[in-house]
Amino acid sequence: MNICIIGTGFVGVVSASVYASFGNTVIGLDIDPQKIEKLKHGQVPFFEPGLSDLLLEQQKSGNLHFTTDYSLAVSQAEVVFVAVGTPSTSTGEADLKYVFATADSIAPFLQENAIVVIKSTVPPGTLTQYAERVKTKTQAQFFMASVPEFLREGSAVADTLHPDRVLIGTTEPEVAEKLTLLHQPLQTQIIHTSPESAQMAKYSANAYLATRITFINQIADLCEKNGADIEEVIQAIGQDKRIGSQYWYPGLGYGGSCFPKDVKELAAYANSIGETNNVLIKINEVNEQRIEKILNQYEQKIGGWLNKKVAVLGLSFKPETNDMREAPSIKIIPYLLSKGAQVLGFDPKAEWPVNGDISFFTATPPVTTVSPDSSFTQVNTINDAVRDVDVIMCVIEWPEITSFDFSQSKSAKTQWFVDTRNQFSPKEVTAWGYNYLGIGR
């Protein structure tokens, strides 16, 4: 098939590369000429394992192209995917301006019977509004569908090639048939729903996973008070087939580009239709307060952060990505600096902004702004970060961090080892000579 994918961010580039690998002719479209030129040379603006190689391979094969020209990309496309960003507004709703901007741009160039697929995360009802805007600028017949993505950063290529399911939301049998054919190479279950159900399924999946993280954090707080160990609790409840052992992540709360945004947007959507007593509103509040609450608890145990030298290991929001959106570090580091600590940061891929402006990475204002002359330094190695510090804080479970031999870096003075993801054995860390602090242990 001839396919156009609008938006060359995380979802758009991965999807374009994978669809091209099936033998389709795919054009990635973006209004940013610099980004397009970099993509033509296999330069991805973010770190994602395996993506750069796949990108170059499919461009060499002739299946994948990139352009800024709407006329060229859309006029040839049987299927047009919209994969642009839908950030949250200040009140939590999905900001659809980028989505609707594509409606105005594609309308004059749509071929007859083209299928327009919204891959962006949008609330139910968006397809109807989108179609109405397109109809004002074209006489061509076209069809709408929703095919939400379920990718995880750090494993996006693998997730796209080996998904648990593909969700196709449309009311048109011919559209369902064509999109099913497009996704057949994935050899996975294909579920057909209405567009509204597909959109709610995307929000629901992310909100439920965020709920599990929030729930287990609440249980971990109880464990802190009663002597139970959250890891033993997880092992016990995970054997219940109704519950399962996956996605129990006690720690500093959920972050990243999807969970915080999608929970807020689903809560705002519930409010907009009169469902004001919604559990997601509380989940969002608890998650936003989580880091400051935990850091306050640690402060009491270590005797205050003032004049403490702290190593923060892991700046991205999860391993195998350099994405810092809603990462724990963007709340932890300003908090520690505001308390008078000196902070050294390390991450294998993510880079702290040189000017200290972290507003892009978080929808929740931090405790303080990190200025260029602050007491924060990003270093290139774990050794440089942990040398003679008072506190080692392991924030993200990068393999480089979890496999590091901290026994060799222990100094003679009292040092605290803060394990915010419960990746280390308390007994082992204590045997190395550190005072151990975990989550719910």
For the annotated catalytic residues, the residue numbers are 258
The answer to whether the CB of 366 falls within 8 A of the CB of 334 is yes
* Distance of alpha carbon 135 from alpha carbon 114, whole angstroms: 13
Instruction: Give yes or no for a contact between 146 and 199, defined as CB atoms under 8 angstroms apart.
Output: yes
Asked if 406 contacts 280 with a C-beta cutoff of 8 angstroms, the reply is: no
User: Using CA atoms, how far apart are residues 137 and 225, in angstroms rounded to an integer?
Assistant: 63
- 212/245 Cα distance (integer angstroms): 11
DSSP string, 235-266: HHHTTSTTT-SSS---SS---TTTHHHHHHHH
**Of 135, 132, 127, 252, residue with least CA distance to 197:** 127
Handedness of CA 239, 242, 245, 249 (dihedral sign): negative
Tokens of 100: 């609707």
Tokens 């993280």 correspond to what residue? 213
Q: What is the CA radius of gyration of the chain?
A: 24
DSSP conformation letters of 54-110: HHHHHHHHTSEEEES-HHHHHHT-SEEEE-----B-TTS-B--HHHHHHHHHHGGGP
Helix (H) or strand (E) holding 218: helix 195-226
Nearest-angstrom CA–CA distance, 394 and 419 = 5
Q: In Å, how far from its chain's centre is CA 34?
A: 24
Per-residue 3-state assignment (H helix, E strand, C coil) for 8-51: CCHHHHHHHHHHHHCCCEEEEECCCHHHHHHHHCCCCCCCCCCH
- Rounded CA-CA distance 329/291 in Å is 10
